[in-house]
Structure formats: C-alpha cells, structure tokens
Structure 1
Amino acid sequence: MKPLRLTILAVIGIVLGLAGFAATELADRSSGTTPVLPYSALGSMAVIAVFTLALGIRVLRWRNSEKRTRMIDPIFAARTLVLAHACAYAGAVLLGWHAGVLADQLPVWAVRSTSPVILQAIAMMGGGVIMVAIGLLVERFCRVPPEDGEEPKDGREAGPNRAGDAEGGYA
C-alpha cells in the first residue's frame, strides 16, 4: 500500500471546498438551508478518530516491543492501515467542504456574527483537521522499521517506506 500524500489530501480538500462553496451559493439562491453537518456529526467523527487511534496504538506497541512473543496478525495491521487512510481522506473531505461553506458565509459574518452555520462549519473543519492528523499519525505507527543489517538494493540510505519501494514498509 502506498503512503498517504499530503498533496493528494490537499487536492481533495480544494476540490471539495469549491464544491461546498458552489453548493452553498446554490442553496442561498434557492432559499434552501446551508449544506453543513450538524454538531452531532462531531460525535461520529470522534468515535472514528478514537477507534483509529486505539488500533494504531496497538500496532505501535507491538512494533516497539523488545520481546515479541507472537506475531501481530497481518490482516489486523492491514485493516488498521486502511482505516487510517480512510480517516485521513474523510477528514480532508469534511475539512474542504466546510471550508467552502465558511468561505461563502464570511461576507455575511458581520451581519450574523453568531450564526450557527458559521460556528458549525468551523467546528466541522476542526474535526476534519483532527481526523487527517490521526490518519497520518496512525499510518506512521504502522510502518515497520528496517531489519538490523538490512542493506537497500539501490544503495540509498535504509529507511522504512521510501517512495518507490515495491515491498511497501508497513506492519
């Protein structure tokens, strides 16, 4: 599995930001409600983030233990890595969408300074940032350190998960 790239996450955020901006404009023009998630979505985001972090810590403990009495289940480690990627992508989507909503609502902030839509968008953006950070952190937890005395085939410095490695570098 390839590592997460910040540029891809940024592109996702920008594209969804533009979509969120356009959707908010369309909703305003048709006198509809602003397309922002309610505060209750923060609870779901928190559950996903905490669950991802807990599984990542479990993989990290195995990776850093000196005495490994048994191997970690490779399916468990792979699922944890996939969950970390999904968490980061979902966070980028939520961050981008709500940044677009906020960008559309900023001109009216002076008129409606206590607007719940603006506060909801800011809260969802914060949740998105946390989800991206946890996804990147757990991905880092799943990296396997190089074995002692292992020499890379191409003469570069040994290190886990270099870009271009065919065999990966995850637990």
Structure 2
Amino acid sequence: MRRTRVRTLVAVAVGVAAVGTLLLRLLETRGVYLPGAAWVEVVALVLIAGLVLWAGWAVRAYLRGEKPDLDPLRAARTFAMAKAAAYTGALLTGRYAASVLLVLPQLAVEPRREVAITSGVAALAAIGLAVVGLVVEKFCEAPPPEEDEGREAIPS
C-alpha cells in the first residue's frame, strides 16, 4: 500500500466542506436546521487518535527491533487503520468546517455561536486525527530490504 498524500486529504476536506455548506444552506432554506458537532464527538475523535497513535507506536518499536514479538500482520493492519484514520479525519474536517461556514454570518446569535465553537473545535480534533493517521503511516513504513553486496539492485 502507498502512503496517503496530504494533497489528497486537503482536497477531500475542502470538497466535503464546499458540498456540505451548500447542502446545509439548501436544507435551512427549507426550514431544516441540523445541529453542529457535539462535545462527545470531540472526545471520541481524540480517543480514536490516541488509540491509532498507541497502535502505531507498537509497530514503530517492532520495526526498530525493540519489540520482536509483534505479529507482522498487526503492523499491516495498523497501517490500514492509520490510512482509514487519515481519510476519516479529512472527511470529518470538511463536515465540521461546513457547519462553521454556515453559521459564520450569524455569530451574533448565541445558539449559532455555540454551533460555530463546537464545530470549530471538532474540526481541529478531526485535523488531529488525520495528522495522527499520517504519522502512524510513517511509523509503519518498513525499511527497504538489504541487498547482497555482489548483486545490483532491481529498480522499482
């Protein structure tokens, strides 16, 4: 598997934010007001980021030779989990940013300001999840295999 590109994650977040803002505006013109993020979502994102980082730290120790009893399949699964965390963080960043963008013109209204604050903090937590995913992907990067001295390397 290839590592996730930051450019791809930014494109996902911006795309979801743009489409989400348009959809939320359309819904509000029809009288449907969706709530912003809840504080429990922020806590959940931070916990998930912590778990992904913990799993990645174990793989990092394994690749450095500090933890030889770790299953290599676990390292592959951790890489897949890190990739999922990066994409999930990008998607949720766009979702929460859309909520913030929607209520930005109405910050003088207390309930809308609360939506902006909670959604903004949730967006920061989602960015953190994406960053943790990228870092753990780097942790799971195995070094290239050692070559024999008499043989030439095969270009990839």
For Structure 1 versus Structure 2, the TM-score category normalised by the shorter chain is 0.7 to 0.9
Contact map agreement 1:34 1:117 (CA 8 A) in 2: no
The one-letter code matched in structure 2 to 1:117 is: V
Say which of 87, 90, 105 aligns to 1:89: 87
Q: Which residue of 2 aligns with 1:58?
A: 58
Output the CA distance in 2 between the equivalents of 1:122 and 1:152: 49
Contact map agreement 2:13 2:90 (CA 8 A) in 1: yes
Q: How does 1:36-115 map to 2 (within 5 A)?
A: 36-65=36-65, 69-70=68-69, 72-109=70-107, 111-112=108-109, 115=113
Contact map agreement 2:89 2:127 (CA 8 A) in 1: yes
Matched position secondary structure for 1:143 = coil
Contact map agreement 1:19 1:97 (CA 8 A) in 2: no
Output the CA distance in 2 between the equivalents of 1:123 and 1:86: 21
Structure 1 residues 22 and 146: alpha-carbon distance in aligned structure 2, compared to 1, 3 A threshold: same
Give the TM-score normalised by structure 2.
Answer: 0.86
Structure 1 residues 21 and 61: alpha-carbon distance in aligned structure 2, compared to 1, 3 A threshold: same
Output the CA distance in 2 between the equivalents of 1:15 and 1:84: 21
Contact map agreement 2:147 2:153 (CA 8 A) in 1: no
Of 26-35 and 96-105, the range deviating more from structure 2: 26-35
1:33 Cα deviation after fit: 2.3
- 5+ residue gaps, structure 2: none
1:63 Cα deviation after fit: 1.2
Output the CA distance in 2 between the equivalents of 1:104 and 1:152: 55
1:104 Cα deviation after fit: 2.0
Structure 1 residues 139 and 69: alpha-carbon distance in aligned structure 2, compared to 1, 3 A threshold: closer
The one-letter code matched in structure 2 to 1:112 is: V
User: What percent identity do the matched residue pairs reach?
Assistant: 26
**Aligned length, in residue pairs:** 152
Give the ranges of 4+ consecutive aligned residues of structure 1 lying more than 3 Å apart after TM superposition. 147-152
Contact map agreement 1:92 1:129 (CA 8 A) in 2: yes
CA RMSD between the two structures: 2.1
Of 78-87 and 1-10, the range deviating more from structure 2: 1-10
Contact map agreement 1:18 1:97 (CA 8 A) in 2: no
Identify the structure with the greater helix proportion.
2
Output the CA distance in 2 between the equivalents of 1:149 and 1:3: 23
Give the TM-score normalised by structure 1.
Answer: 0.79
1:69 Cα deviation after fit: 4.7
Of 141-150 and 131-140, the range deviating more from structure 2: 141-150
Say which of 125, 141, 145 aligns to 2:143: 145
Output the CA distance in 1 between the equivalents of 2:22 and 2:44: 26
1:23 Cα deviation after fit: 2.5
